[in-house]
């Protein structure tokens, strides 16, 4: 597969589907626009609706490398962009002084490429359209870190004081994801396209389960999806995402069951409901959740 | 009828409509929208819908506004048009419900005008700092607001992953040492060390604005505004029967304007109280997403709850596991320095989960709280 953008939205949707990712029209259009215009795409949505998965799938279908930057509180340039290899620099200095080499050139060499340790963002700028850059869970990083991404997102370049500005020769596909633990700054949002991913409809979710787990029977997939939709209606503290549905169906299958009944549901519930209070309230109403046949 | 310029004109007009509805559409967004729409030669309405939604809406809350504008602008409110194919959620019954979203137009509100002028005239009035807010006159309230506005409130700190230089102790700072070593021709002379930087914890204020708190809610809201202005990482919520996030409203530089906006956002002033349900809503919608994690949560309420105590108990238990500390500010606590004895059912349910009970019923108490807050470990 070439790494150029697909001809139209339908083609992209089909390509994604061939990779096992079912995107609705809205998400496919947003992705298409992002690839065509070369702008980063910011995905927000509930946990487990396939935000990260989209980046992985895009990388697979365009045969690009996936470069992933997982954000966390306190992340800074030395973890996201670059770091100097201090141990090597010091050894080199010792070697230089042993040979009485103190001219400018040998000192300059200390800040050459050889001593630069690439981190994901620099790697992505260098790789250009050879990669898909995934900046995952950007809301976990401190808000100062967002400011630091602005240069990258608008001009696809990074500045390293000792070396200068490095600009991407071609634009990578950039996907940012956020779970909305906090509101992102407008400055960041302005540089991105925005798409909110909702939970899929029951039919769509069943298709997703069957695409991901082709060996599962249609009945089991349909019943599990229906049960998950009832769970989402329960006002749980942590409603299950699509990833949980898939986990649940694999768990049911792993214990050798072919359909969903109360007993099967109880023993596998841990893969779909992951909060103790939620578990208690779901267990009490398990009959209702599984649904009477 | 349409010339070549007409479609472009129409897209630009649509952007202006969105702007009128309070969506911040910049020139860069407009350009992105036009280039995105130009990708689709067919000019199908669905493509224009998604082009706009990805380029013009920046947050989830704007999506219903966008949908409503889009329906009105491109369909004239008529969603039965057979010639267009629209996304289901857009053409469905949901879109009727979202037309009612509040517009960005300011509402005339006489009450606040009056407060503003009172605030100016009363600035010089002397205020008895220990007088209960419930007994203060309008003039005294205005003067109190001025003093509260000048309070400096700093939340306690936590250690971060980042470092700063520190000659005493801590881990070796290789980066700094490499630099120093180069300066000394490759001879490492000194050991550079570093320690973790500290950062203010997030502060979450949850204010009860129900009827029983009416005497205090205005002063507490002003307090929240001061806190919001003074510290970076602050979230403010109000509740009566349901929870409203007013952090964004309080962001306005002008305090009267900020309080007016906050007042508009809160739909249930001086109504009933559902503390349990409101806190439960907070934990579900915000707390678990990270707003409460490691934060100092200050709940300002009298604890007179009309809801189920079990709900309050469970919500607070969850909140205490998520947050760093919970402070309960209860104006009914009054003057006493003695151990607080719960006077209401709500408070007795809450007490086991609360780390500190504070009064906050008069100015003195709020000023003291500003002093105590940074010390909460």
Q: Contact B284/A90, CB-based, under 8 Å?
A: no
Q: Is the pLDDT of residue A42 over 70?
A: yes
For residue B315, how many other CB atoms are within 10 A of its CB?
25
Confidence of residue A86 (pLDDT cuts 50, 70, 90): confident
Q: Residue A90: which of B178, B283, B284 has the nearest Cβ?
A: B178
Q: Are A247 and A271 within one domain?
A: yes
Instruction: Give residue A91's domain range.
Output: 82-113
Residue A234 lies in a domain: yes
Between CA A51 and CA B184 the distance in angstroms is 50
Return all residues near B127 (Cβ < 8 A) that are at least 6 apart.
Answer: B140, B143, B144, B147, B363
Find the residue in B nearest to A46 (Cα).
B289
Give the phi and the psi of residue A105 in degrees, each rounded to 5: -60, -45
Q: Contact B178/A86, CB-based, under 8 Å?
A: yes
Between CA B111 and CA A233 the distance in angstroms is 41
pTM passes above 0.90: no
Return all residues near B274 (Cβ < 8 A) that are at least 6 apart.
Answer: B239, B240, B241, B242, B305, B306, B307
Residue A4 lies in a domain: no
pLDDT at A102: 67
Residue B50 touches chain A, beta carbons under 8 Å: yes
Residue A236 lies in a domain: yes
Between CA A249 and CA A228 the distance in angstroms is 10
Between CA A30 and CA A32 the distance in angstroms is 5
Residue B107 touches chain A, beta carbons under 8 Å: no
Residue A122 lies in a domain: no
Question: What DSSP character marks residue B60?
Answer: T
Between CA B125 and CA B176 the distance in angstroms is 56
Q: Are A42 and A146 within one domain?
A: yes
pLDDT at B122: 34
**Two structure tokens written together for A208:** 């997703």
**Two structure tokens written together for A169:** 């020769």
pLDDT at B338: 58
Rounded to 5°, angle at Cα B201 from B199 and B204:
150
pLDDT at B116: 33
Per residue in B106-115, pLDDT (tens digit) is: 333 333 333 3
Q: Are A36 and A150 within one domain?
A: yes
Q: Are A29 and A86 within one domain?
A: no
Q: Are A135 and A178 within one domain?
A: yes
Among the listed residues B194, B197, B196, B189, the one whose alpha carbon sits nearest the alpha carbon of residue B171: B194
Confidence of residue B295 (pLDDT cuts 50, 70, 90): confident
As for how many domains chain A has, the answer is 3
Return all residues near A132 (Cβ < 8 A) that are at least 6 apart.
Answer: A55, A58, A59, A62, A64, A65, A66, A67, A172, A173, A174, A175
Per residue in A194-242, pLDDT (tens digit) is: 999 988 889 889 998 998 888 888 888 999 999 999 998 887 878 898 9
Instruction: Find the mean pLDDT for residues A154-173.
Output: 88
Q: Are A234 and A279 within one domain?
A: yes
Residue A67 lies in a domain: yes
Find the residue in A nearest to B289 (Cα).
A181
Q: Is the pLDDT of residue A250 over 60?
A: yes
Instruction: Find the mean pLDDT for residues A21-29.
Output: 90
Per residue in A176-187, pLDDT (tens digit) is: 999 877 778 878
Burial class of B136 by CB neighbour count within 10 A (0 to 12, 13 to 18, 19+): buried
- Strands B193-200 and B203-208, sheet pairing: unpaired
Sort out which chain A residues have CB atoms less than 8 A from B32's CB and list them: 37, 39, 193
Per residue in B107-146, pLDDT (tens digit) is: 333 333 333 333 333 333 455 666 777 777 777 777 777 7
Q: What is the CA radius of gyration of chain A?
A: 24
Of the listed ranges A21-25, A116-120, B161-165, the least confidently predicted one is: B161-165
pLDDT at B187: 72
Q: Are A93 and A132 within one domain?
A: no
Q: Contact B289/A179, CB-based, under 8 Å?
A: yes
Q: Are A177 and A233 within one domain?
A: no
Q: What is the CA radius of gyration of chain B?
A: 26
Q: Which residue has the higher pLDDT, B142 or B24?
A: B24
| Domain residue extents for chain B | 6-98, 160-199, 201-375
The SS3 call for residue B346 is: helix
pLDDT at B97: 29
- Cα B239 to chain centroid distance, Å, stands at 12
Q: Contact B46/A25, CB-based, under 8 Å?
A: yes
- Cα B234 to chain centroid distance, Å, stands at 7
Q: B336-358 burial string, b = 16+ CB within 10 Å, else e?
A: eeeebeeebebbebbeebbebbb
Q: Are A30 and A137 within one domain?
A: yes
Question: What DSSP character marks residue B225?
Answer: H
Residue A231 lies in a domain: yes
pLDDT at A159: 87
Sort out which chain B residues have CB atoms less than 8 A from A72's CB and list them: 161
Q: Are A22 and A92 within one domain?
A: no
Write the DSSP string, B159-222: EEEEEEE-SSSSEE-HHHHHHHHHHTTT---S--EEEEEEEEPPEEEEEE-SGGGHHHHHHHHH
Helices (H), B195-330: 214-230, 255-265, 275-285, 309-322
pLDDT at A132: 94
The SS3 call for residue B246 is: coil
Confidence of residue A133 (pLDDT cuts 50, 70, 90): very high
Q: Are A45 and A187 within one domain?
A: yes
Q: Residue B35: which of A37, A89, A140 has the nearest Cβ?
A: A37
CATH number of the B201-375 domain: 3.40.50.410
Q: Is the pLDDT of residue A101 over 60?
A: yes
Q: Are A26 and A90 within one domain?
A: no
Q: Reduce the secondary structure of B81-139 to three states and give it as a string.
A: CCCCCCCHHHHCCHHHHHCCCCCCCCCCCHHHHHHHHHHHHCCCCCCCCCCCHHHCCHH
Residue B281 touches chain A, beta carbons under 8 Å: no
- Cα A66 to chain centroid distance, Å, stands at 10
Q: Which residue has the higher pLDDT, B255 or B46?
A: B46
Q: How many residues does chain B have?
A: 377
């Amino acid at each position: 597969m070439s790494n150029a953008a697909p001809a139209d939205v339908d083609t992209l949707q089909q390509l994604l589907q061939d990779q096992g990712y079912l995107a609705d029209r809205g998400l496919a259009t947003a992705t298409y626009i992002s690839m065509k215009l070369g702008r980063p795409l910011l995905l927000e949505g509930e946990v487990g609706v396939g935000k990260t998965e989209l980046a992985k799938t895009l990388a697979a279908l365009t045969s690009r490398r996936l470069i992933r930057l997982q954000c966390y509180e306190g992340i800074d340039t030395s973890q996201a962009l670059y770091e100097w290899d201090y141990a090597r620099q010091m050894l080199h200095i010792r070697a230089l002084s042993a040979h009485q080499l103190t001219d400018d050139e040998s000192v300059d060499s200390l800040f050459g490429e050889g001593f630069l340790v690439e981190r994901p963002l620099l790697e992505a700028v260098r790789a250009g359209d050879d990669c898909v850059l995934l900046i995952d869970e950007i809301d976990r990083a401190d808000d100062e870190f967002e400011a630091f991404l602005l240069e990258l997102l608008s001009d696809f370049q990074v500045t390293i004081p000792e070396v200068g500005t490095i600009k991407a020769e071609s634009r990578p596909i950039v996907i940012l994801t956020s779970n909305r633990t906090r509101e992102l700054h407008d400055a960041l949002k302005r540089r991105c396209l925005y798409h909110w991913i909702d939970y899929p409809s029951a039919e769509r979710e069943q298709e997703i389960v069957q695409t991901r787990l082709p060996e599962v029977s249609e009945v089991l997939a349909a019943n599990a999806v229906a049960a998950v939709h009832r769970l989402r209606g329960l006002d749980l503290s942590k409603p299950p995402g699509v990833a949980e549905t898939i986990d649940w169906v694999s768990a049911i299958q792993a214990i050798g069951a072919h359909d969903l009944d109360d007993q099967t549901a109880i023993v596998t519930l841990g893969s779909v409901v992951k909060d103790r209070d939620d578990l208690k309230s779901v267990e009490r109403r398990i009959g209702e959740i599984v649904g009477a046949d | 009828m349409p010339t070549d310029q007409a479609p472009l004109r129409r897209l630009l007009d649509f952007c202006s409509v969105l702007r009128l509805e309070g969506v911040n559409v910049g020139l860069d967004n407009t350009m992105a929208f036009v280039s995105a729409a130009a990708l689709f030669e067919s000019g199908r309405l669905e493509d224009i819908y998604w082009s706009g939604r990805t380029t013009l809406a920046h947050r989830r809350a704007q999506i219903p506004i966008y949908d409503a504008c889009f329906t009105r602008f491109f369909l004239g409110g008529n969603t039965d048009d057979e010639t267009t194919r629209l996304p289901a959620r857009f053409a469905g019954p949901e879109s009727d419900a979202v037309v009612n979203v509040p517009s960005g137009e300011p509402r005339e509100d006489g009450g606040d005008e009056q407060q503003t002028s009172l605030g100016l005239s009363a600035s010089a009035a002397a205020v008895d700092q220990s007088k209960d807010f419930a007994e203060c006159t309008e003039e005294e309230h205005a003067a109190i607001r001025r003093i509260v506005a000048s309070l400096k409130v700093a939340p306690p700190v936590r250690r971060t992953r980042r470092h700063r230089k520190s000659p005493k102790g801590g881990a070796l700072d290789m980066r700094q040492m490499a630099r120093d070593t180069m300066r000394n021709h490759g001879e490492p002379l000194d050991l550079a060390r570093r320690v973790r930087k500290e950062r203010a914890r997030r502060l979450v204020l949850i204010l009860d604005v129900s009827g029983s708190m009416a005497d205090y809610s205005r002063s507490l809201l002003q307090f929240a505004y001061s806190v919001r202005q003074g510290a970076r990482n602050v979230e403010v919520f109000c509740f009566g029967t349901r929870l409203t996030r007013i952090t964004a409203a309080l962001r306005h530089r002008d305090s009267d304007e900020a309080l007016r906006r906050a007042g508009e956002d809160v739909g249930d002033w001086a109504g009933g109280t559902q503390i349990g349900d409101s806190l439960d809503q907070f934990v579900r919608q915000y707390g678990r997403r990270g707003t409460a994690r490691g934060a100092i949560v200050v709940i300002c309420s009298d604890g007179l709850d009309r809801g189920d105590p079990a709900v309050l108990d469970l919500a607070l238990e969850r909140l205490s596991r998520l947050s760093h500390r919970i402070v309960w500010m209860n104006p009914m606590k009054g003057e006493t320095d003695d151990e607080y004895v719960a006077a209401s059912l709500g408070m007795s349910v809450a007490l086991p989960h609360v780390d500190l009970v504070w009064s906050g019923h008069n100015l003195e108490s709020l000023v003291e709280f500003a002093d105590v807050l940074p010390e909460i470990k």
